[in-house]
Amino acid sequence: MNNKNMIFVEEVLVRTEVMETPFYCDLPKCKGACCTLKSDYGAPITQDEIGEIENILETVKENLPERHVKEIEENGFWEEKSGELMLRSVDKRACVFVYYDDDIAKCGIEKTYFEGKTNFRKPISCHLFPIRVSNFGGDVLRYERISECEPALENGKDKNIKIVEFCDESLQRLYGSNWYSSLKETTGK
């Protein structure tokens, strides 16, 4: 099933904005804003991801600021809000797993992954951003627009890279390489 706003690929609906919108993160300009958005809620997380993080938590804490470690030790790293599992934030802003590389917010879990100390990269909702997965009887992939990502839109235009290409690794992580190939074939991109 395809219409002008969505395509259907192996049980997943993909909004065409994911295929058509230019996007490539520009960290020197956005400063990692997606990890520090003001909100009562952190990023969505799954029960399986909670278990993965619990297994590596002590190692990850080595990469975090003291204030974030204290938050995790006092309150945990996740919470349930209205039936949804979410990562905690510090001061209703930074994810508890944020560390700062100069003035750029980055993920301490991902740093641990790149150091070769874990096979778990980071929660899939973080890895997919700016794609969000909604469930309406099945997965629906959509582009989550936030003003802090304006530099990424310009950078994507300059590099001629769309969201689907920027998120290729995370989409393959979630759905597999065959699904990703089918998506690319379906859209001719």
Write out the H or E segment, with its range, that includes residue 156. Answer: helix 150-159
- Tell me the average pLDDT across 142-164: 95
Same domain, 86 and 56: yes
The domain boundary, picked from 94, 114, 129, lies at 129
Residue 68 near residue 107, CB atoms below 8 Å: no
The domain boundary, picked from 129, 146, 162, lies at 129
Q: Whole-number mean pLDDT of the chain?
A: 92
Same domain, 134 and 165: yes
Helix-, strand-, coil-residue percentages of the chain, each rounded to 5: 45, 20, 35
For 161, residues 6+ apart whose C-beta sits below 8 A from its C-beta are: 22, 23, 24
Q: Which tokens hold the place of 140?
A: 């629906």
The domain boundary, picked from 129, 145, 164, lies at 129
Same domain, 171 and 156: yes
- Total structural domains within the chain: 2
Residue ranges making up the domain that contains 7: 1-23+130-189
Residue 52 near residue 120, CB atoms below 8 Å: yes
Same domain, 112 and 54: yes
Same domain, 124 and 134: no
pTM of the predicted structure, to 2 decimals: 0.90
Same domain, 40 and 97: yes
| Percentage with pLDDT > 90 across the chain | 81
Q: Which tokens hold the place of 62?
A: 């080595």
- Tell me the average pLDDT across 74-79: 96
Say whether pLDDT at 130 is over 70: yes
Same domain, 14 and 56: no
Same domain, 125 and 85: yes
DSSP string, 5-65: SEEEETTEEEEHHHHHSB----HHHH-SGGGS---SS--B--HHHHHHHHHHHHHHHTTS-
For 134-167, b/e burial (b = at least 16 CB within 10 A) is eeeeeeebbbeeeeebebbbebbeeeebbbbbbb
Q: What would the pLDDT profile of 101-116 be if each residue is shown by its tens digit?
A: 999 999 999 999 999 9
What distance in Å separates the CA atoms of residue 98 and residue 128, rounded to the nearest whole number? 17
What distance in Å separates the CA atoms of residue 41 and residue 92, rounded to the nearest whole number? 7
